[in-house]
Structure formats: structure tokens, C-alpha cells
Amino acid sequence: MDTKMNRQQEWYLLGTLVAVFGGRFSGRIGDYAHSARFQLKTAAELADDETERKRRLIGQADSLLSRMMNETELLLMACGGAVWSEEDELYLEIMAQRMEPFEDGADGVAVFSHAVLKERERFGRWLLSEDMSMALNGLLVLTGRLRRLLRHERKRLAEEEGEAKHRALFPEAAESPKCPVCGSPMRLRTAKTGTNAGCRFWGCTQYPACRGVREIIDGM
Ligand SMILES: [Zn+2]
């Protein structure tokens, strides 16, 4: 399969791997990792439109992971190891690993656990190492990567919540307009840069392949 993994699949799988590897360390590292994974599991099981709850659970997972990283760094230093820099060859090697997408189907749990096993093998080279410094650093890299994904997801969910609020305020705008360039539906976005920074506009759902935009007309 060469399709790209969907966002939720990626953070849920990565969150599970962090718990699988982190769980090898007794005490708080394992506890935090397991609790974070539970929040992510709960978030992943929510319906797509439960954005606010999902965002909150992901936020809680992120804060648990932050504590877990703190414990991991301390254990690493207690073992006489140093945290790898982002230029470290091993850091880059782990970051370059691409996980394999899998089918979400009726047999979800079995398929998922199979995916976990496969990725456990992929990252096990570092994270299951007998060398504590290697294993703990690997855990830090993987957790950092997961937290980056979670930050993006929280931001995206917050944007979706904004759109839902906008639709509640302007129900007549519930139907999104069509893209003037390619005819796809459009979604509300917020300009990040330029003189219109902070302003809302309709952007093509095919972005970045299509850059079609429309101004928001009041009440529409
Ligand atoms: Zn378009």
C-alpha cells in the first residue's frame, strides 16, 4: 500500500507505540505513557463531529506525554546518558522512518494490533535496545514526533470548532460554496499571513493542489 496514512491513524498508532515502548520502564514513565495512550484511544473512538471533546482529550494526552518526557530525560541522565541533539544521526534515522498505513475495517482491533507489531519491529532496533541510552533517547524522539502530530491535530480541531460556530451563527451558510477554480466544496479558513492575516475566507478543500479562494459575503 502506498497511500498516505491518515492523521488519526498516525497519532493513534504512534501513541500506542510510545505506550508499548514506554511501558518497558516501570514507574512514572510507563504510567504516563499508558494514561496518554488511553486518552488517545478514547479520542480516536469519538465521532468525527465531537471536535471539542476530542481536542480536550488530545490536550490531556499531550500534557501526560510532556511529563513522561521529563521522567525519561531524568532517567537517561541518571543512567549517565545525554539527550541526542536534533542533528544526531540516530535522531534523524528514527525521524525518517515512515509507518505503513493500514485498513480501518470491521476487524479493527486485530488489524490495528498487527500494525502495532509491525511498527514495534521497525522502531525496536533503537527502542528495544539493551543500551539504555539508545532506548531512552529513542523513546524521546518518538514521543516528540507524536507530540508534534498532536499539536497539529489540536489546531485543526480548533479550526473546525470555529467553523461549526460560524455555521451555527449563519445557518444559511451551512452549504459551502463551490470553488471558482475547480468546483470542489470550500471550507472556511483563516489567513495566516499578509495584510489579511486573521481574516476568514473560503478556501478550496483541494488545497494545496488547488488554490481557489472566495471572499466571505456577510450571511452567506
Ligand atoms: Zn479548487
DSSP 16-29: HHHHHHHTTSTTHH
CA of 213 to the centre of ligand 1 (A): 8
For range 157-176, the mean pLDDT: 76
CA of 203 to the centre of ligand 1 (A): 8
d(CA 77, CA 192): 40
Q: Is 200 helix (H, G, I), strand (E, B) or coil?
A: strand
Q: How many secondary structure helices (H) and strands (E) does the chain include?
A: 6, 3
How do residues 58-75 score in pLDDT, each as one tens digit? 999 999 999 999 999 999
CA of 208 to the centre of ligand 1 (A): 9
Answer whether residue 197 shows pLDDT above 80: yes
CA of 204 to the centre of ligand 1 (A): 5
CA of 25 to the centre of ligand 1 (A): 49
Answer whether residue 182 shows pLDDT above 90: yes
Q: Quote the DSSP letter at residue 173.
A: G
Distance of CA 108 to the CA centre of its chain: 19
7 grid coordinates: 492523521
CA of 215 to the centre of ligand 1 (A): 14
Q: Quote the DSSP letter at residue 98.
A: -
CA of 185 to the centre of ligand 1 (A): 8
CA of 133 to the centre of ligand 1 (A): 49
Q: How far does the chain reach from its first CA to its final CA, in angstroms?
A: 41
How do residues 124-159 score in pLDDT, each as one tens digit? 999 999 999 999 999 999 999 999 999 999 999 999
Between these two residues, 109 and 122, which has the higher pLDDT value? 122
Q: Is 214 left (phi over 0), alpha (psi -120 to 50) or beta?
A: beta
CA of 139 to the centre of ligand 1 (A): 41
Q: Quote the DSSP letter at residue 82.
A: -
CA of 3 to the centre of ligand 1 (A): 22
Which long-range contacts does 209-212 make (Cβ < 8 Å, 24+ apart)?
Answer: 210/179, 210/181, 210/182, 210/184, 211/181, 212/179, 212/180, 212/181, 212/182, 212/184, 212/186
CA of 6 to the centre of ligand 1 (A): 21
Answer whether residue 1 shows pLDDT above 50: no
d(CA 159, CA 201): 13
d(CA 105, CA 136): 34
CA of 172 to the centre of ligand 1 (A): 22
